[in-house]
């Protein structure tokens, strides 16, 4: 499957590097700093959750788009993956069109955010919704919904992560848009990331 996926992506014009286990994959990600990572959950040496958790704890891997592609498709598995910071969670066997759509969507979103916020200074901290709650006067639940929205999650994803109905997520988002004075997800995401981003400036000397 790994070879087939690599061939599929190469035929679409992507440069692909593969790894046979989680530990090797982590080393490759650190050395090559790829634009996007597709990762299984159940792997030898280091499982996918550990790979993602390690990357998200390092500055270079904090914002790289990360897609899980795995046979573990239960709601609990999806929730764990998303909570670790995965951008998408696809289940095997995956349809070619679905995989390519996820890859293109995540790359386009990463590019758009870098252009909007400035890639050199963009370093969001998604560890807590509290900064969003205090900055925008949101309820805790609204801040949680906005936090996941800023990470590119759909209403269905957020409902799974927060154990709430998709309709409830939509209602919270409507309230968030009103309080932020914006009309949609993209504008709300930019506002949220401006708060969550850590701005680092070079020391004078």
Other C-beta atoms closer than 10 Å to the C-beta of 136 total 18
| pLDDT at residue 171 greater than cutoff 90 | yes
201, part of any domain:
no
68: three-class secondary structure by DSSP: strand
Mean pLDDT to the nearest integer, 140-167: 90
Are 127 and 112 within one domain?
Answer: no
Model pLDDT for residues 5-47, shown as the tens digit of each residue? 999 999 999 999 999 999 999 999 999 999 999 999 999 889 9
Indicate the pTM of the whole model.
0.71
Are 66 and 30 within one domain?
Answer: yes
User: Any long-range contacts for 176-180 (C-beta under 8 Å, 24+ apart)?
Assistant: 176/136, 176/138, 176/142, 176/145, 176/146, 176/149, 179/136, 179/137, 179/138, 179/142, 180/136
156, part of any domain:
yes
State percent of the chain over pLDDT 70. Answer: 92
202, part of any domain:
no
Please give the structure tokens belonging to residue 145: 């919904």
When divided into structural domains, the chain yields a total of 2
147, part of any domain:
yes
Of 30-34, 41-45, 77-81, 90-94, the least confident: 77-81
100, part of any domain:
yes
| pLDDT at residue 190 greater than cutoff 50 | yes
Are 11 and 110 within one domain?
Answer: yes
> How far apart, in whole angstroms, are the C-alpha atoms of residue 188 and residue 166?
18
Range of the domain at 68: 2-118
Domain-ending residue, one of 118, 145, 166: 118
Domain-ending residue, one of 118, 149, 172: 118
Domain-ending residue, one of 118, 148, 176: 118
State percent of the chain over pLDDT 90. Answer: 49
């Amino acid at each position: 499957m790994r070879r087939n996926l690599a061939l599929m992506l190469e035929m679409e014009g992507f440069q692909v590097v593969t790894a046979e286990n989680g530990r090797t994959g982590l080393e490759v990600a650190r050395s090559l700093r790829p634009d996007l990572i597709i990762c299984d959950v159940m792997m030898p040496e280091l499982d996918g959750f550990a790979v993602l958790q390690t990357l998200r704890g390092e500055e270079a891997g904090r914002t790289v788009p990360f897609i899980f592609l795995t046979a573990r498709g239960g709601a609990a598995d999806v929730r764990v993956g998303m909570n670790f910071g995965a951008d998408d969670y696809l289940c095997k066997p995956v349809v070619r069109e679905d995989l390519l759509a996820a890859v293109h969507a995540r790359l386009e979103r990463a590019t758009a955010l870098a252009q909007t916020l400035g890639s050199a200074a963009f370093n969001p901290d998604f560890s807590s919704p509290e900064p969003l709650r205090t900055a925008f006067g949101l309820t805790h639940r609204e801040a949680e919904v906005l936090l996941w929205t800023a990470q590119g999650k759909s209403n269905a994803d957020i409902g799974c992560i927060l154990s709430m109905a998709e309709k409830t997520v939509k209602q919270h988002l409507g309230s968030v848009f009103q309080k932020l004075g914006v009309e949609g997800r993209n504008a709300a995401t930019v506002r949220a990331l401006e708060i969550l981003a850590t701005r680092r400036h070079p020391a004078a000397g």
